[in-house]
Amino acid sequence: MTAFLELTLDKFIFRVDPACAYTPQGIWVKEAGPVNRLGLSDFLQQRSGDVAFAEVKPAGSILAAGAAFASIETIKVDVDLLLPAAARVVRVNPALGTAPEVINQDPYGDGWLCEVEWQEKPQLLAAAAYFEQMEKEAREEHP
Amino acid sequence: MTPPRKVMVIPCSGIGKSFGTVSRVAAYQVVEEDRPGQTQLVPLALLVTGDEESRRLVAENPAVAIDGCKLACASKMITQSGGQVAREFAVLDVFRRYREFKPEGIAELNAGGEQLAAALAREMDAVVDELTGEEGGSHA
């Protein structure tokens, strides 16, 4: 069982998976063999709200650094999810088409978005550094 | 002669959320316009505060919950009040069926929100007909 880094603020608990690296936007990256799996951090999914629709670029797409590899439409906002480095999409989570709520239910597990092969090395935050950034943002939003 | 049972409609009480407002607009549409003779609105707040009459109505009649978010307060309060959820509507699920009707606004919904509420009300009308054994078209 994963021992998450946790931040409790008011009624909210935000978890950070220490086994992942992160982009400043809150995309987690986990090595899974030759590919890297991507998803939304717990903080980003809670901040965005219940996901109504999730769309990910199809397998085979080659995208530049900073390009949107996915987008989510929630009850609050529409969010483009950006790649930290150029990559090729290898696989998309098939569950997202019929049950996008899995992103909210299990952001670090079954709610993964896609798997990619990097075309260049991404600059990512270690879990502890992301936790620090997240805590700062969360405390600003929930003073 | 025993009067026919009414369907109790319990919408989300979420204030400050578009999806909560959609649930209430749809509830009023059904209870006041579409099926006034077959339905009755029970405010969620009365169930939360333990109002005896509201609890009795929910316990003795079919109850339809309209939940504005995954917390599902309406469904939970029906159960905690001794009733059974005859049908649950989650506004998010309805939105997934009508993506073109994106709700915005709180006190006043945008056009998308009004359309989503109307779509939800139509689905509820069908459920009310099913629960009361009525067919569409016999409602004044």
Q: Which of A45, A75, A106 to mutate to test the interface with B (most CBs of B within 10 A)?
A: A75
pLDDT of residue B140: 45
- Closest residue in A to B20 (Cα–Cα): A75
CB contact under 8 A, A53 and B18: no
Distance CA B85, CA B18 (A): 23
Shortest distance between the Cα of B61 and any Cα of chain A, in A, equals 31
Global confidence as pTM? 0.84
In a structure prediction context, what are the per-residue pLDDT tens digits for chain B, which is 140 residues long?
566 689 999 999 988 889 999 999 999 999 999 999 999 999 999 999 999 999 999 999 999 999 998 889 999 999 999 999 999 999 999 999 999 999 999 889 999 999 999 999 999 999 999 999 875 545 54
Chain B residues near residue A101 by CB distance under 8 angstroms: 70, 92
Chain B residues near residue A52 by CB distance under 8 angstroms: 92, 95-96, 99
CB contact under 8 A, A52 and B18: no
- Closest residue in A to B70 (Cα–Cα): A50
- Closest residue in B to A51 (Cα–Cα): B92
- Flag whether B140 is in a domain: no
What CATH number is attached to the domain comprising B76? 3.40.50
Instruction: Supply the range of the domain harboring residue B116.
Output: 7-132
Sheet with B39-41: strands ordered across: B39-41, B7-11, B63-67, B85-90
- Tell me the residue ranges of DSSP E strands in A33-118: 35-40, 51-56, 62-63, 68-74, 78-82, 87-92, 114-118
Chain A residues near residue B102 by CB distance under 8 angstroms: 73
* A23: alpha, beta or left? (left if phi > 0; alpha if psi -120 to 50): beta
- Closest residue in B to A98 (Cα–Cα): B96
- Flag whether B114 is in a domain: yes
SS3 at position B136: coil
- Flag whether B94 is in a domain: yes
**Domain at A5-141, CATH class:** mainly beta
Distance CA B79, CA B55 (A): 10
Chain A residues near residue B72 by CB distance under 8 angstroms: none
Say yes or no: ipTM exceeds 0.85: no
Chain A residues near residue B70 by CB distance under 8 angstroms: 50, 101, 104
CB contact under 8 A, A75 and B17: yes
pLDDT of residue A64: 98
Encoding tokens for residue B3?
């009067």
Specify whether the CB–CB gap between A43 and A57 falls below 8 A. Answer: no
pLDDT of residue A107: 98
CB contact under 8 A, B99 and A104: no
Residues of B with CB under 8 A from a CB of A: 17-19, 69-70, 92, 95-96, 99, 102
Distance CA B41, CA B29 (A): 11
For chain A, which residues make up each domain, given as ranges?
Answer: 5-141
Cα-Cα end-to-end distance for chain A: 31
Mean pLDDT of chain A: 95
Distance CA B77, CA B56 (A): 13
Burial of A38 (0-12, 13-18, 19+ CB in 10 A): buried
SS3 at position B87: strand
β partners of residue B67: B90
- Closest residue in B to A97 (Cα–Cα): B96
Does the pLDDT value for residue A67 go beyond 70?
yes
Distance CA B20, CA B43 (A): 13
- Flag whether B139 is in a domain: no
